[in-house]
Amino acid sequence: MVRTRSDEKRREIIRVAAQTFQELGYERTSMLTIAERMSGSKQTLYNYFPSKEDLLRAVLEVDVSEVVEEALDAFLKQKNLRQGLVELGKVYLTRQLAPLAISNFRNAATQPPESKLGEDFYRKNLCVAWQRFADALKSLMAEHKLRRADPWIAAMHFKGLVLQDLLERVVLGAADSVNNVEIGSAAKQAADAFLRIYGREAPPRGGKNKK
């Protein structure tokens, strides 16, 4: 799809806003601050986003959509299921534990409940993203490459396995960052544990694969 100048401008605003929210915090960031960093006018921002909250929603949406596309691509292009899970885990952890993702999560979590921003972020962004992985698992179950089970629960099990305690360590300041060696190790451990739980199902009796 060809992006228009308006699309490019919108993405630029989102990119600058995300960086500013991360650096200054959501509450201390004003639309004027973002406009000044773009060397533009505040009115231009309001032409694209009616409020700072709408801009934060766009930041959250773009971040999650980029992660899911990259992670699923890494998963699906691998012919070996275990390696696909490992690569997905590595992409997910690398992006999830990055300073920008941590900043976005904190900003979403600290908004007033009446704004519904946190709930919307969970239901419309996070759940939608993980549902795509669950759908991929459902297809693998139908092909007898995984044991039949609830695909959503399986997706959540993989999420828990790969995160381990890494997210808490970073969010709570127990570690400034998690290095690539730890990320790779966590992804491999998660893939192996996941396959021990949901390992390949034997083909049904009478199937053409029966010997």
For residue range 157-169, list pLDDT tens digits in order: 999 999 999 999 9
Distances in Å between the Cα of 92 and the Cα atoms of 5, 27, 68, 184 are 31, 27, 8, 11
Quick check: helix, strand or coil at residue 95?
Answer: helix
CATH 1.10.357.10 range(s) for the chain read: 56-198
Classified by CATH at the fold level, domain 1-50 comes out as Arc Repressor Mutant, subunit A (1.10.10)
pTM: 0.87
Q: What are phi and psi of 60, to 5 degrees?
A: -65, -45
The pLDDT, as a whole number, for residue 5 is 82
CA distance 194 to 125: 24
- What totals of helices (H) and strands (E) does the chain contain, helices first? 11, 0
Quick check: helix, strand or coil at residue 159?
Answer: helix
The answer to whether the CB of 84 falls within 8 A of the CB of 195 is: no
The answer to whether the CB of 173 falls within 8 A of the CB of 106 is: no
4 pLDDT tier (thresholds 50, 70, 90): confident
Lowest mean pLDDT among 88-92, 105-109, 173-177, 188-192: 173-177
- Quick one: tokens of 19? 């960086």
Please give the mean pLDDT across all residues of the chain.
91
So what's the architecture of 56-198 in CATH?
Answer: Orthogonal Bundle (1.10)
The pLDDT, as a whole number, for residue 205 is 58
Q: What is the pLDDT of residues 42-88, one digit of tens each?
A: 998 999 999 999 999 999 999 999 999 999 999 999 999 999 999 99
CATH 1.10.10.60 range(s) for the chain read: 1-50
The pLDDT, as a whole number, for residue 49 is 95
Reply yes or no on whether the pLDDT at 210 is more than 50. Answer: no
Reply yes or no on whether the pLDDT at 208 is more than 80. Answer: no
